[in-house]
């Protein structure tokens, strides 16, 4: 699809824009290109855009009726067209008692009761001892969001919640170190209850319990809880009906931490914290749904992201939180953005990219500041690629005394990306290696503080951006068929390895055959 001519024309006019000149010629730029939500300041003045760019992008948003798409999302319409499902995660965080449906409220009540019983030592294991540690077994959306939230919101004295996701046995082995079977509760989180990694770890956890105690009959009842949309499968695994927390088909895996999938957050940090997270997300939802395009923060940021991808040639998006508690944010966003929008056909099944600047999402990666400054920032400052860098900076994060150092680093990096360095201060022969060209784009999200409310609002902001970007790319952000392929191929290969059976050579390519042969040769059971 060809985008409106005026966007192409504007992109041509902006080619060669130098941010340093733009600031030098426009004293208002820093204020004119700042967005606000609550008391956040979102600085987009260091993007390769102007006030006119925003006006044109917002005009395009109206032309393609973005507000109507948002209304459809919140109305629970089946926007996941390939699977004929809604993507109704916003329904999970509506304010208490206002419009939460009966079923959502019922599960919320169960989560609250369960998490409080565990935290107050009222929930007892099979031998009558209170639970001391909870192990979340799940992968992808059934782990990443909860793990990020637990890390971000952790406070000294919080309940011990740990995570196992990888089928590599080393993951479970390390997590179980120091745990006592009698006081450990496993939460098996899987929407489908068919995910191999999760079931394999759940079975291994069951064996670990069996090995350590002789009250086997009560094992599953008291030491296993399931969170799933597939109740039948969870029951077939042996989990008691009263130990199953349901969620629903209309909750996508990567959008599910607001459902019972997030029970680990309530257990670790308490119900109030979980509720505050929902409230923060609900306020962002309201803003997204009700604010006109001109002041709509998720919509404006998504338009800028799309502009960078389709008109700015920036194929990398780098996420750098300046908060230790947000160190897992890049991995979480990798799934959210790349699983949602890593697509090659539009929602009508047409191949993207026929027009030269049609793209779906870029690659997303990053790491925590300041550590990343000593790793990939060199590439950002002097490498040959142009990337879109996003710095997330909570200003009074837990009131830490040494926080000024961290904040100064964040501000300095954004400054360095734009200003660069000309190297004039060194002798000629050494100069070129020291030059940092500058004029590199960044967005800075400045948050006044960091708590569960802000965290909820932040994640909702990213979810909405992913959705709007998907609409702009014209892809279905809510399926992930690419992930299925690997899952389908794995079974015959595992069977072949376990039984030492040769796969028929016309079934597999010679590279696969050679890899299997190597593995068989060196694999020590
Ligand atoms: O990674 C693919 C995926 O389907 C994700 O979307 C999902 O979050 C994850 O696998 C786990 O799936 P399940 O919750 O069904 O175990």
- Model confidence pLDDT, tens digit, residues 57-78: 999 999 999 999 999 999 999 9
Look at ligand 1, atom 6, and give the residue with the nearest C-alpha: 253
Task: Judge if the beta carbon of residue 257 lies within 6 A of ligand 1.
Answer: no
Is the pLDDT at 172 greater than 80? The verdict is: yes
Least confident span in 62-71, 174-183, 281-290, 481-490? 481-490
Least confident span in 91-105, 223-237, 323-337, 372-386? 91-105
Is the pLDDT at 109 greater than 60? The verdict is: yes
Tell how far the Cα of 15 is from the centroid of ligand 1, in angstroms.
41
Q: Please report how many Cα atoms fall inside a 13 Å half-sphere around the Cα of residue 233, on the Cβ side.
A: 17
**CA–CA dist 87, 75 (Å, integer):** 10
**Cβ atoms < 10 Å from Cβ of 491:** 10
**pLDDT, position 218:** 62
Ligand 1 pocket mutation, candidates 253, 334, 466, 490, criterion most atoms within 8 A of CB? 253
Closest-CA residue to 139 (of 492, 480, 491): 480
**Mean pLDDT computed over 476-503:** 86
Burial 332-356 (b: 16+ CB within 10 A, else e): bbbbbbbbbbbbeebbeeeebeeee
**Cβ atoms < 10 Å from Cβ of 190:** 28
* 487 given a catalytic annotation: yes
Model pTM score:
0.95
Report residue 460's pLDDT band, with 50, 70 and 90 as the boundaries.
very high
Computed over every residue of the chain, the mean pLDDT equals: 92
**CA–CA dist 410, 390 (Å, integer):** 10
Is the pLDDT at 100 greater than 80? The verdict is: no
Task: Judge if the beta carbon of residue 259 lies within 6 A of ligand 1.
Answer: no
| pLDDT tens per residue, range 111-141 | 999 999 999 999 999 989 999 999 999 999 9
**CA–CA dist 196, 199 (Å, integer):** 5
Least confident span in 37-51, 211-225, 257-271, 387-401? 211-225
Task: Judge if the beta carbon of residue 342 lies within 6 A of ligand 1.
Answer: no
User: In which residue are the tokens 């109030």 written?
Assistant: 272
Look at ligand 1, atom 2, and give the residue with the nearest C-alpha: 483
Beta bridge partners of 189: 227
| pLDDT tens per residue, range 375-399 | 999 999 999 988 999 999 999 866 6
Q: Please report how many Cα atoms fall inside a 13 Å half-sphere around the Cα of residue 492, on the Cβ side.
A: 11
**pLDDT, position 397:** 67
Ligand 1 pocket mutation, candidates 139, 261, 332, criterion most atoms within 8 A of CB? 139
**CA–CA dist 209, 478 (Å, integer):** 37
Tell how far the Cα of 134 is from the centroid of ligand 1, in angstroms.
21
Report residue 148's pLDDT band, with 50, 70 and 90 as the boundaries.
very high
- Choose the catalytic residue: 182, 339, 390, 469: 339
Tell how far the Cα of 140 is from the centroid of ligand 1, in angstroms.
5
**CA–CA dist 463, 468 (Å, integer):** 9
| pLDDT tens per residue, range 290-349 | 999 999 999 999 999 999 999 998 989 999 999 999 999 999 999 999 999 999 999 888
**pLDDT, position 155:** 94
Terminal Cα distance for the chain, rounded: 54
Least confident span in 304-308, 422-426, 450-454? 422-426
More confident residue, 264 or 506: 264
**pLDDT, position 210:** 85
**pLDDT, position 46:** 98
Three-state secondary structure call for residue 446: strand
**Nearby residues of 225 by Cβ (< 8 Å), 6 or more positions away:** 114, 185, 186, 187, 188, 239, 243, 244, 245, 263
Report residue 96's pLDDT band, with 50, 70 and 90 as the boundaries.
low
Is the pLDDT at 480 greater than 80? The verdict is: yes
**pLDDT, position 94:** 84
| pLDDT tens per residue, range 235-253 | 999 999 999 999 999 999 9
| Residues across the chain | 525
Which phi and psi angles does 131 have, rounded to 5°?
-75, 135
* 374 given a catalytic annotation: yes
* 112 given a catalytic annotation: no
**CA–CA dist 264, 270 (Å, integer):** 9
Structure tokens at 168: 């590599």
- Choose the catalytic residue: 374, 498, 521, 524: 374
* Burial environment of residue 437 by CB neighbours within 10 A (0 to 12, 13 to 18, 19 or more): exposed
């Amino acid at each position: 699809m060809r985008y409106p001519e005026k966007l192409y024309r504007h992109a041509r006019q902006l080619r060669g824009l130098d941010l340093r000149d733009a600031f030098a010629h426009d004293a208002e730029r820093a204020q004119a290109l700042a967005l606000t939500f609550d008391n956040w300041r979102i600085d987009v003045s260091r993007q390769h855009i102007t006030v006119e760019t925003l006006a044109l992008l917002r005009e395009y948003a109206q032309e393609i009726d973005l507000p109507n798409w948002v209304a459809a999302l919140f109305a629970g319409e089946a926007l996941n067209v390939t699977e004929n499902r809604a993507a109704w995660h916003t329904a999970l965080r509506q304010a208490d008692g206002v419009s939460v449906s009966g079923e959502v409220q019922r599960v919320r009540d169960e989560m609250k009761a369960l998490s409080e019983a565990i935290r107050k030592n009222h929930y007892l294991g099979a031998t009558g001892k209170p639970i001391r540690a909870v192990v979340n077994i799940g992968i992808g959306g059934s782990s990443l969001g909860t793990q990020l939230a637990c890390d971000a919101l952790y406070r000294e004295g919080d309940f011990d919640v740990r995570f196992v996701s990888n089928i590599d046995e080393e993951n479970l082995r390390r997590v179980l170190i120091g745990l006592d079977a009698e006081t450990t509760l496993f939460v098996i989180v899987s929407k489908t209850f068919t995910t191999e990694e999760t079931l394999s770890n759940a079975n291994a956890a069951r064996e670990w319990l069996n090995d350590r105690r002789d009250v086997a009959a009560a094992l599953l009842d008291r030491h296993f809880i399931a969170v799933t949309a597939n109740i039948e499968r969870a029951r077939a695994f042996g989990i008691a009906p009263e130990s199953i927390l349901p969620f629903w088909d209309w909750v996508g895996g990567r959008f599910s931490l607001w459902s019972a999938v997030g029970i680990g957050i309530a257990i670790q940090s308490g119900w109030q914290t979980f509720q505050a997270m929902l409230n923060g997300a609900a306020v962002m939802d309201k803003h997204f749904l009700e604010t006109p395009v001109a002041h709509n923060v998720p919509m404006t940021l998504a338009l800028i992201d799309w502009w960078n991808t389709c008109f700015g040639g920036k194929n990398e998006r780098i996420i750098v939180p300046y908060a230790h508690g947000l160190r897992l944010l890049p991995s979480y966003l990798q799934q959210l953005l790349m699983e949602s929008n890593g697509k090659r056909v539009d929602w009508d099944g047409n191949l993207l990219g026929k027009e030269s600047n049609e793209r779906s999402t870029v690659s997303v990666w990053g790491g925590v500041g300041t550590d990343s400054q000593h790793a990939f920032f060199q590439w950002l400052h002097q490498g040959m690629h142009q990337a879109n860098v996003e710095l997330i900076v909570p200003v009074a994060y837990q009131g830490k005394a040494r926080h000024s150092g961290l904040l100064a680093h964040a501000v300095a990096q954004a400054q360095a990306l734009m200003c660069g360095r000309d190297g004039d201060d060194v002798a000629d022969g050494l100069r070129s290696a020291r030059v940092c060209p500058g004029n590199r784009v960044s967005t800075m999200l400045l948050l006044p503080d960091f708590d569960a409310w802000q965290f909820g609002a932040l994640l909702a902001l990213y979810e909405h951006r992913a959705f709007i970007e998907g609409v702009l790319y014209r892809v279905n952000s809510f399926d992930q068929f690419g992930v299925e392929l690997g899952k389908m191929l794995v079974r015959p290969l595992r069977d072949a390895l376990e039984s030492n059976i040769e796969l028929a050579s016309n079934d597999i390519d010679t590279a696969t055959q050679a890899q299997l042969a190597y593995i068989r040769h060196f694999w020590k059971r």
